[in-house]
Structure 1
Amino acid sequence: MKASTFLAGLLAGSVTAAVTVLFSTPQTGSEIRSSVKSASADMKHKLNDVKGKLAELKTSITHMTKEAKEMVPEAVNGIKGSIEQWQLSTENNRLKLEKELSAIQSSLADLEKSIAEQQK
């Protein structure tokens, strides 16, 4: 299909659609113009609202980013401090458990030796 044929068909279809709309509309020309002006004003108002909301969103994101940059390092340092404090507080228990496990292993080794000697 050639581009000129396509454009001719598109033009004919557009003209036909425009004529059909003009003849089938229940409103007069002045009513349609008034309605279009009203819709246009309403759309401009809505567009301005969207622009305002986007500006608020941008400001909010900027503020949140600043807060995150300040708060995240503090939180990380707090968590590190808490972990270090927990490790220090559990160090005595860990040492006791290691001693007890060593004693249990030693007792098991002695028990195995005595069982082996009794079986001979």
Structure 2
Amino acid sequence: MLGFWLRRKLEETPEFAHMKHMAAKHPFSELMRGHGKAVIVGILTTCTTAGHNGLLFAHMPAYLDKTLHYDPRSVALAQNASDRKAKRAEVCDVQNSARAGFTSGTRASRTPAYFTSIPVSQ
């Protein structure tokens, strides 16, 4: 309550009042005009990641269990192991890229780690 009362009674500093007048009137349109392509790429990247995670973590275990008749326990263990492997591979790629000046091989040329942990025998 004290903070609210103080905020209502105190005047703004001249610097803040000057900055307030310099603020954008339509920040979203200015963002899209200046950085529209980057915003769209960011949205598409987020959608792709969300779709991948939804398929991998929500639908893959059910598919392996119900359709391919894998043991649910081994599916859960494989998914947990693949998640750890994928995270470890990403860390190694970042470290290797940094050491090589970002000229190391691309991840697309390798088999994704999460496919290598799925059990192949029932």
Judge same fold: TM > 0.5, yes or no. no
* Higher helix residue share: 1
TM-score by length of 2: 0.29
With the length of structure 1 as denominator, give the TM-score of the two structures. Answer: 0.30
